[in-house]
């Protein structure tokens, strides 16, 4: 895990080391174990290293001179220079293959050097050979071309910004801002998407800053020509597969994925929430370590003072069942606003998901004990864990009468209550027969009418189809899962995971998002993934082999904190101060509407927890933008 950044010029003007140093300085929090800058005509690369594999032999930027010792006759690449963020889990297998092809390694077991020589052997086809999480950039000195690639599901970030005669890239939007002499400004379309969904899609919130999409690579020529290619797509969904052998198949690929992710030259553990996904990962990891004769797995959970949000007892039960070395860490909300300010300073982008906080607190508390952790991320999107998937299935059968049910008296000030969930279901039914509109209604942060009142200058950009790229699948549940795999997972959940963990230089590993697991789960139809319509039914049956039965039947709760209560109580005054900040008006939001949401929530008339957190994040982001403009 690391931070990467670079600049490519399309003319002969010097890049200057100062800007690369500014980018490197900003991202040192991602890589405190080593750093370096590599300067070449037309290209400068910067790297901050978090050393996990081959701590002595993996320093970067890494170079390959292109001599006969590490070139085959078919290798037409010149001297190569590489910066890399991530882990390649099949690096030992690839090292053996490359050695047989005649390539000579200088490191003992560096996955970075495998990437470098793998590019010599496979060129732009290299990403297809990789099993892991990655974002990397390779400068081919003789061709004066930059090759960049990002892993299949978007675990590792890679942002690019083209301005005039240059292209800059980095792991985070804020790092790009640090390397630009002219301040970066808000992107109105991305801000609208943020209000609609709580996160922007394939772009940053900063104008002109985009992400290399997951499963894509980009080639940048020194003359300014760029080309983006897709090297991976989710597999076609089977119309004939049955449940026969499905549990064994999932266990086999998931067990292998977990074992691959246990390799580390530093202390490693597993985050354990007590839910199905993390519990299953922890159980498989403990079994693998036991088979290797290694010490027990270290597991970590976070505790809350609020019993409604504390799942530590479930995590403790799993830890006792599997025999892990378990540690409970305490969440500390006392510095909530300072923590959000720190995260904004490191990332340069808001998120409306308040789960950012417990994720950050867990990573921060675990970091003195471990340097890498396994998580259960990806289980819901791949195996159908969200209630909204079942809601879509219900609408497909019952919308004809649900749309006629009067809704005005079905109301609750508790967004987690059954009445509130029923109201959301009936509201979605009233949106019409199209699953994409129903789904948008379920997941929108602010609906269209609310946006028109809150941010009227964005109203003209609102379209009748909030979701315009709905997958062409006859099964609405499969379509929703594919949409989440392409949007919600990489642009919300994995962004949150990367930013909260790398803010304290902790690596997160996601066995559920292993290539083979994703391909297998993505191939199975809904009838196999959700037997009898039960959320995550297939995975529950697998988990029943390894964790306590009581865990299998727990309802999904998510990784959250009682921030809505805090906004009414201990943090109400500070929240009001932030939401009255003029920076929100500068972003196009109406002060009276913001105040109305705050008053309704604090009086108990409505539950605006998620909306208020989103507005708070925008206020903090607006302040950060102001500081960037002043420093620029």
Q: Which domains does the chain have, with CATH numbers?
A: 2-230 (3.60.20.10), 246-334+346-383+482-552 (3.40.50.620), 387-478 (no CATH), 563-631 (no CATH)
pLDDT bucket at 102, cuts 50 / 70 / 90:
very high
Average pLDDT score over residue span 428-456? 94
Tell me, what's the pLDDT at 237? 92
Tell me, what's the pLDDT at 506? 98
DSSP 224: S
Over the Cα atoms of the chain, what is R_g?
24
pLDDT at 74 over 70: no
Tell me, what's the pLDDT at 307? 64
As a whole number, the mean pLDDT across the chain is 93
pTM of the model as a whole? 0.95
Tell me, what's the pLDDT at 558? 62
User: What count of Cα atoms within 13 Å lies in the side-chain half-sphere of residue 160?
Assistant: 23
Tell me, what's the pLDDT at 540? 95
DSSP, collapsed to helix, strand or coil, labels residue 269 as strand
Instruction: Report the alpha-carbon distance of residue 22 to residue 6 in Å, rounded.
Output: 11
Exposure string over 101-135, b if 16+ CB within 10 A, otherwise e: eebebebebbbbbbbbbbbbbbeeebbebbbbbbb
For the stretch 537-588, pLDDT in tens is 999 999 999 999 888 887 766 667 889 999 998 899 999 999 999 999 999 9
Instruction: Report the alpha-carbon distance of residue 458 to residue 460 in Å, rounded.
Output: 6
Average pLDDT score over residue span 176-184? 90
The separation between CA 411 and the C-alpha centre of its own chain, rounded to angstroms, equals: 33
For the stretch 404-423, pLDDT in tens is 888 877 877 777 778 888 88
Tell me, what's the pLDDT at 556? 66
Strand partners, 326: 299
For the stretch 293-316, pLDDT in tens is 999 999 999 887 776 677 788 999
pLDDT at 453 over 90: yes
pLDDT bucket at 400, cuts 50 / 70 / 90:
confident
Query: Minimal CA–CA distance to 561: which of 362, 315, 389?
Result: 362
pLDDT bucket at 75, cuts 50 / 70 / 90:
confident
Task: Look up tokens 């100062």; give the residue.
Answer: 18
Average pLDDT score over residue span 239-245? 88
Instruction: Report the alpha-carbon distance of residue 548 to residue 526 in Å, rounded.
Output: 26
pLDDT bucket at 403, cuts 50 / 70 / 90:
confident
């Amino acid at each position: 895990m690391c931070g990467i950044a670079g600049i490519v010029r399309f003319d002969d003007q010097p890049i200057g080391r100062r800007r690369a140093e500014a980018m490197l300085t900003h991202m040192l929090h991602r890589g405190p174990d080593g750093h370096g800058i590599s300067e070449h005509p037309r290209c400068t690369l910067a790297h901050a290293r978090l050393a996990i594999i081959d701590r002595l032999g993996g320093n970067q930027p890494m170079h390959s001179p292109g001599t006969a010792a590490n070139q085959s006759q078919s290798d037409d690449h010149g001297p190569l220079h590489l910066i890399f963020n991530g882990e390649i889990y099949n690096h030992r297998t690839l090292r053996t293959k490359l050695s047989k092809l005649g390539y000579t390694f200088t490191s003992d077991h560096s996955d970075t050097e495998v990437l470098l020589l793998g590019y010599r052997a496979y060129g732009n086809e290299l990403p297809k050979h990789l099993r892991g999480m990655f974002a990397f950039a390779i400068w081919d000195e003789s061709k004066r071309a930059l090759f960049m690639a990002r892993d299949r599901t978007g675990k590792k970030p890679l942002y690019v910004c083209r301005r005039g005669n240059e292209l800059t890239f980095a792991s985070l939007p804020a790092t790009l801002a640090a390397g630009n002499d002219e301040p970066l400004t808000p992107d109105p379309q991305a801000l609208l998407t943020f209000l609609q969904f709580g996160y922007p899609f394939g772009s940053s919130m900063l104008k002109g800053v985009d992400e290399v999409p997951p499963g894509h690579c980009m080639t940048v020529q020194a003359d300014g020509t760029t080309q983006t290619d897709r090297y991976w797509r989710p597999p076609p969904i089977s119309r004939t597969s049955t449940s026969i052998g499905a549990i064994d198949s999932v266990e086999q690929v998931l067990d292998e994925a977990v074992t691959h992710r246990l390799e580390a030259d530093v202390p490693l553990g597993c985050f354990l929430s007590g839910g199905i996904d993390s519990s299953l990962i922890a159980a498989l990891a403990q079994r693998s370590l036991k088979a290797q004769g290694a010490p027990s797995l270290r597991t970590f959970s976070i505790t809350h003072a609020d019993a409604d949000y504390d799942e530590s007892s479930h995590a403790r039960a799993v830890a006792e069942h599997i025999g892990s070395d378990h540690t409970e860490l305490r969440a500390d909300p006392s510095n909530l606003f300072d923590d959000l300010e720190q995260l904004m300073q490191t990332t340069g982008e808001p998120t409306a998901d308040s789960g950012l906080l417990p994720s950050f607190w867990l990573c921060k508390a675990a970091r003195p004990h471990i340097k890498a952790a396994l998580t259960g991320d990806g289980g819901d999107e791949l195996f159908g864990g969200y209630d909204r998937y079942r809601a879509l299935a219900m609408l497909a059968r019952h919308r004809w009468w649900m749309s006629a049910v009067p809704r005005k008296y079905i109301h609750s000030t508790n967004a987690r209550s059954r009445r509130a969930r029923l109201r959301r279901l009936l509201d979605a039914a009233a949106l019409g027969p199209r699953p994409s509109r129903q789904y948008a209604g379920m997941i929108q942060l602010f609906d269209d009418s609310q946006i028109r009142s809150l941010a009227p200058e964005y109203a003209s950009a609102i379209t009748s189809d909030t979701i315009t790229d709905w997958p062409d699948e006859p099964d609405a549940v499969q379509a929703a899962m594919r949409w989440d795999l392409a949007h919600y997972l990489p642009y919300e959940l994995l962004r949150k995971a990367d930013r909260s963990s790398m803010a304290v230089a902790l690596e997160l590993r996601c066995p559920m998002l292993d290539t083979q697991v994703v391909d297998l789960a993505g191939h199975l139809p809904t009838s196999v993934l959700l037997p009898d319509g039960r959320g995550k039914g297939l995975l529950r049956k697998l988990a029943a082999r390894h964790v306590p039965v009581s865990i299998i039947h727990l309802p999904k709760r998510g990784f959250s904190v009682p921030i809505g209560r805090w906004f009414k109580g201990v943090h109400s005054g500070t929240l009001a101060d932030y939401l009255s900040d003029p920076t929100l008006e500068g972003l196009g939001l109406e002060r009276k509407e913001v105040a109305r949401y705050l008053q309704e929530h604090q009086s108990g008339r409505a539950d605006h927890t998620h909306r208020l957190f989103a507005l708070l994040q925008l206020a903090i982001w607006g302040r950060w933008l102001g500081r960037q403009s002043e420093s620029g």
